[in-house]
Structure 1
């Protein structure tokens, strides 16, 4: 991407279905949050952020900005992404900590194909837009802030509104791309862990 952009790893989820912090899962000798953060750091972002809960106490290298979820506020990924986007005021590539099959190569390819810094982009699968692996842009903030005020925290609804307003676009993922967006959500999912692509 020729325009400056930032990247953020969303790692503050409560992991209730996993029954342990997904960010701390072991993935080929490293904690999952470290693996995912390294992917983002390899993409050439002007700023790299980590969004997490204060009590997670994730130790990051110099140059990574930590954005903590406010105490007592439960506004989910929408709140976390909105806070980060307001902070950087530039296109913001978002990646969830629980998408270990997402590759830096795939993200790099998308950055090269989507050059418009005023329009977000997302992939759609069988369950709608994949909101936690895509590009958010400042033009989307109006819709995001409105959704927060209305307590409508579903990111897919926000993306739909942004697409309708021309602030974002979606494209259908191919059969080969589906695996990149697979989540690790439950202990049973751990049995499906395979080598990094």
Structure 2
């Protein structure tokens, strides 16, 4: 994109099905959160954020240029709350990546950013199970939709994307067969194998 953008790694999930913190899983010689963060750092974002719980042992040095965004104590608003807080903080297009999408590539994300010509519109991909909400571009114009959803405790990100597309604030692209593996999640030990 020709417009400055920020990027955030969402690493604060509770990982209940995995029975251990997914962010700390080993992936090609490093913790998964580090591997995912390096992808985002390679994209040329003006700001890179790491969204996590304060008790998670995820440490970045100031020299890495990564901003920590801790979930508020007792927050139970899931990814919607985390993305909303980050978008309110950066006030620019925000590329989101979930920590549990290890097959997502920096090259794919870079290509989507390069092709996207409307920095005032979000973009997402739609697969066989609906919109892929945890890897896409959220924009400040979507904040009122997100804040309203939080206020009524409707935490489904797909509802936000549907409303944003309906009102012209976002676009969706159909996932091709070759792109679907990028969006696979690691939710259980079997998924990782």
TM-score bucket (shorter structure): over 0.9
CA contact (8 A) 1:125 1:178 kept: yes
Does 2:92 match 1:72?
no
Within a 5 Å distance, the mapping from 1:142-161 to structure 2 comes to 142-161=144-163
Q: Write the deviation string for residues 95-149 of structure 1: whole angstroms up to 9, x where unpaired.
A: 0000000000000000000121110000000111100000000010010000000
Matching residue within 91, 105, 108 for 2:107: 105
The answer for the alignment partner of 2:50 in structure 1 is 50
RMSD over aligned CA atoms reads 0.6
CA distance in 1, matches of 2:57, 2:170: 34
Q: What is the aligned residue count?
A: 191
CA contact (8 A) 1:3 1:115 kept: no
Matching residue within 119, 135, 138 for 1:136: 138
CA distance in 1, matches of 2:126, 2:31: 28
Q: Write the deviation string for residues 17-67 of structure 1: whole angstroms up to 9, x where unpaired.
A: 000000000001100000000000000000000000000031113210000
CA distance in 2, matches of 1:65, 1:176: 33
Does 2:120 match 1:118?
yes
SS of residue in 2 equivalent to 1:56: coil
CA contact (8 A) 1:79 1:148 kept: yes
TM-score by length of 1: 0.96
User: Does 81-90 or 62-71 show the bigger shift?
Assistant: 62-71
TM-superposed deviation, 1:188: 1.3
The answer for the alignment partner of 1:90 in structure 2 is 92
- Runs of 4 or more off by more than 6 Å in structure 1? none
SS of residue in 1 equivalent to 2:55: helix
> Which consecutive residues of structure 1, in runs of 5 or more, have no partner in the other structure?
192-197
CA distance in 2, matches of 1:28, 1:186: 18
Does 2:9 match 1:9?
yes
